[in-house]
Amino acid sequence: MSIKKGGDAKRRHFRIRVGAGIKIAADSFGSPDRRPVLLLHGGGQTRHAWGGTARTLADAGFYAISLDLRGHGDSDWCEQGDYQPDAYVRDLRDVMQTLDRAPSLVGASLGGMISMLLAGEVAPGSVGALVLVDVTPKLEAEGVDRIYRFMTSHPEGFATVEEAAAAVAEFLPNRPRPADPQGLEKNLRRGPDGRFRWHWDPRFLTRDANLRRSGTTWPARLDQAARGLKCPTLLVRGRQSDVVSEENVKHFRELVPHAEYVDVADAAHMVAGDRNDAFTTAVVDFLQRVMAESADSTAA
């Protein structure tokens, strides 16, 4: 991984208006005249989920933009409660149209599903490269259900940030508990009752909107999207993941023979949070190589 020390990694916060008047919150790092990389978090997370990845991408010569998906973080909630996959894909396409060149996409879990649909089904050829973070068309139901149970627990919220941190520590026993839990506050919102709740619209997980997709249509559609992927693709899995199994990886690589694969030790489903160093190295190395090969192809 080649890093340009002293690069422009200063954060710039802004909002992007997409369809239906929804404003998407974003943080950018690096110069806009560099190759853009969009980072899309998982369901129930925010743009802060990437650790130092965005800054490192900027130092490595990219223009990194981390987004809050609709209904998450500082992005608007949808008045109609539309959190179906196609709504997220439309938002992503609108964001991409504000850029001067085709971006690379880095998507974790839900963000990866959205990215896969856009790159392989909705707008093939519009993406420079794709990084899928612990997500494949087929997922392990037990792992998905464990996440769903955590996200729907504590509807009454938490009296303090420390209480929320204790809930996260119970959910992520493999991850060392931070000495200072206040960093978690950016993933919480304080209600009129003074209690803290997760920073996403509760309607995101209603019966009609939740993305567990236990039926046959959703996995079949993702299979088809995966078959349509033509851009350079990297799958990053957490070796301890209970959401993406080795069998799921094998299935994905049969669908996308050109895809590269990295298995991150000591990481579970939240790869970027569990091992941000190893995760970021894998992503930057891959994207730098893709950028170099693209430059060589253009020169030829």
pLDDT in tens, 15-26: 999 988 999 999
Determine the Cα–Cα distance for residues 168 and 175; give it in Å rounded to an integer.
10
Instruction: Look at the chain and report how many structural domains it folds into.
Output: 1
pLDDT, mean over the chain: 91
Backbone angles phi, psi at 190, to 5 degrees: -100, 125
Task: Classify 21 as helix, strand or coil.
Answer: helix
pLDDT in tens, 217-232: 678 899 999 999 999 9
Name the residue range of residue 293's domain: 11-153+201-299
pTM (2 decimals)? 0.93
Q: With contact defined as beta carbons under 8 Å apart, do 257 and 230 qualify?
A: no
pLDDT in tens, 56-115: 999 999 999 999 999 999 999 999 999 989 999 999 999 999 999 999 999 999 999 999
Determine the Cα–Cα distance for residues 105 and 112; give it in Å rounded to an integer.
8
Determine the Cα–Cα distance for residues 211 and 257; give it in Å rounded to an integer.
26
What CATH number does residue 148 fall under? 3.40.50.1820
The helix (H) or strand (E) run that includes residue 264 is strand 260-264
Task: Answer whether residue 1 is part of any domain.
Answer: no
Strand partners, 199: none
Task: Answer whether residue 124 is part of any domain.
Answer: yes
Determine the Cα–Cα distance for residues 224 and 289; give it in Å rounded to an integer.
27
Task: Answer whether residue 191 is part of any domain.
Answer: no
Strand partners, 63: 36
pLDDT in tens, 150-168: 999 999 999 999 999 999 9
Task: Answer whether residue 21 is part of any domain.
Answer: yes
Task: Answer whether residue 247 is part of any domain.
Answer: yes
Task: Answer whether residue 189 is part of any domain.
Answer: no
Q: With contact defined as beta carbons under 8 Å apart, do 236 and 133 qualify?
A: yes
Task: Answer whether residue 164 is part of any domain.
Answer: no
Task: Answer whether residue 193 is part of any domain.
Answer: no
